[in-house]
Structure 1
Amino acid sequence: MLKILFSPSENKKTGGTEEQKELFGSNSARETILNEYNSVVNSHNEEVIKELFGFKKFSDCQPYINDIFKSPLMHSIERYDGIAYQYLNFETLNNSAKEYLMKNSIIFSNLYGPIFGGDTIANYKVKQGNNIGNLIPDKFYKDRFSYQLDLFLSNADILDLRAGYYDKFYEINKPYLTLKFLKDGKVVSHWAKAYRGLVLRAVAENSINSIEEFMKIQIDTLSVKEIIKKKNRTEIVYEIR
């Protein structure tokens, strides 16, 4: 089976009606960082809260000042609402494609760490790169979840669609596929998020089960320019038409 590693987004949808469920690799480690987050958010220390969220005005923080353990829950693949997720357009997929993404996508959250697309999470705010109290999220989760991820992915093909920052959370120790996007011969950076979303949508619509199957699909607006192999990493370079 193909597993897709994906990034979260700063923007998120509010609300949620899903029930609490055990998250990927659920253990006391994740509870530790969630408790730390909750302590900061409910500390009444405006400067510390603004720093965690990445806001300049405390009024912007108010929607996120809640008890995370009592907040409404939503599937992570639906919670995130950044550019990649807008281009994924999860709501318009058929039920089979939705179920595929809930089971086969792993999103690397700045708060929750690695979670399935179908795992239920609260609305939260952690500015990428910020510490949560005294904890450094990427180091925290790399130290505590890498072994579990190695085991889970041991028999899977891997498509890594994460932004480079999220390599800090987990280093892949087996052959995997990643993508690069060019426009007029230049690497696309910010808008690469959009094309990652389009690729994820195509993978779900075609229920791709292996790298071999992925290599055969045609993705709108993208054409393969070259394929670069280096050690465990295979990179497809796409030209945006």
Structure 2
Amino acid sequence: MIVLLPPSETKRDGGDGPPLHLDSLSSPELGAVRAALVDELVDLAADRPAARRALGISASQDSEIDRNAALRSAPTMPAVERYTGVLYDALDIESLSGAAASRARSRLAVGSALFGLVRAGDAVPAYRLSAGSKLPSGATLAARWRPVLEPVLAKLAQDELVVDLRSGSYAALGRLPGAVDVDVVAEHADGRRTVVSHFNKAHKGRLARVLASSRAEPGDAAAVATLARRAGMRVERTGNELIVVVQA
């Protein structure tokens, strides 16, 4: 089983790994697009107003541009440790130990606007690029990634069940038919259900932790739902679609 996570805009600084070496990342088929995007971000960083427009940030966030300027020389750390925020707080990978930690690091992958797909242990620097960023080259990131990323994802899914926790904009970079998709809804006292926004990430992080660290090896959506329920989550299933229901 592979648990496919979204990235986060927030990332830890620093790291004790060597500078980025694209050839060492998993899925080498993605290397050409990765290299082109790294080059473009480094060049773009020299023009701060243009970089702000492309990345959708303000002058108060110029440190993000500095990160991109240093992409080739900055230290790295494992991808699963680089990303931060609500989902990754709930996942809490660093609190796992022993066999559970090993299982989690072998099962977790991240969809990335810059790298396409990375596994948990891939060494990456801090950077700023979101799925919706509009780089000066003109083509959308989805248009650049889909032709190369979708075959990689399809190959991944041939051998393993994939639980896709990516948000819509990141799923659009590389579609994956047949994956187990997960949504989170809030149920109100009157029975109404609404889409959860902020807390969606926390519940997906909690589910990712359950699935990634479990000794079980689910083979389909029904087995994934069973694991989640055993962990105390309320889950409904229709085919390959899972809905995590939380109280509003």
Q: TM-score range by the shorter chain?
A: 0.7 to 0.9
SS in 2 for 1:197: helix
SS in 2 for 1:180: strand
- Does residue 59 of structure 2 align to residue 57 of structure 1? yes
| Aligned equivalent of 2:95 | 92
- Specify which of 31, 34, 43 is matched with residue 30 of structure 1: 34
Q: Which amino acid aligns with 2:200?
A: A
TM-score by length of 2: 0.84
**How far off its partner does 1:14 sit?**
0.4
* Counterpart-to-counterpart distance in 1, 2:112 and 2:78: 13
**How far off its partner does 1:88 sit?**
0.7
Task: List gaps (5 residues or longer) in structure 1.
Answer: none
* Counterpart-to-counterpart distance in 2, 1:46 and 1:180: 37
| Aligned equivalent of 2:81 | 78
Task: List per-residue Cα deviations over 1:156-207 (Å, max 9, x = no partner).
Answer: 111111112112111113x321222222232212211111100011112214
- Does residue 206 of structure 2 align to residue 203 of structure 1? no
* Counterpart-to-counterpart distance in 2, 1:182 and 1:59: 32
- Specify which of 216, 236, 239 is matched with residue 242 of structure 2: 236
Aligned length: 232
Identical positions, percent = 21
| Aligned equivalent of 1:222 | 233
**Cα distance change on mapping 1:120 and 1:208 into 2, 3 Å:** farther
4+ residue runs of structure 1 moved beyond 4 angstroms?
none
* Counterpart-to-counterpart distance in 2, 1:91 and 1:54: 31
Q: Which amino acid aligns with 2:243?
A: V
| Aligned equivalent of 1:15 | 14
SS in 1 for 2:198: coil
TM-score by length of 1: 0.86
- Does residue 151 of structure 2 align to residue 147 of structure 1? yes
SS in 1 for 2:72: helix
Q: Which amino acid aligns with 1:141?
A: W
| Aligned equivalent of 1:113 | 116
Q: Which amino acid aligns with 1:227?
A: R
* Counterpart-to-counterpart distance in 2, 1:177 and 1:40: 37
- Specify which of 188, 200, 203 is matched with residue 192 of structure 1: 200
Whichever structure has more helix as a proportion of its residues is 2
**Cα distance change on mapping 1:90 and 1:67 into 2, 3 Å:** same
**Cα distance change on mapping 1:72 and 1:208 into 2, 3 Å:** farther
**Cα distance change on mapping 1:7 and 1:76 into 2, 3 Å:** same
SS in 2 for 1:9: coil
**Cα distance change on mapping 1:144 and 1:93 into 2, 3 Å:** same
Task: List gaps (5 residues or longer) in structure 2.
Answer: 188-192
| Aligned equivalent of 2:134 | 131
| Aligned equivalent of 2:190 | none
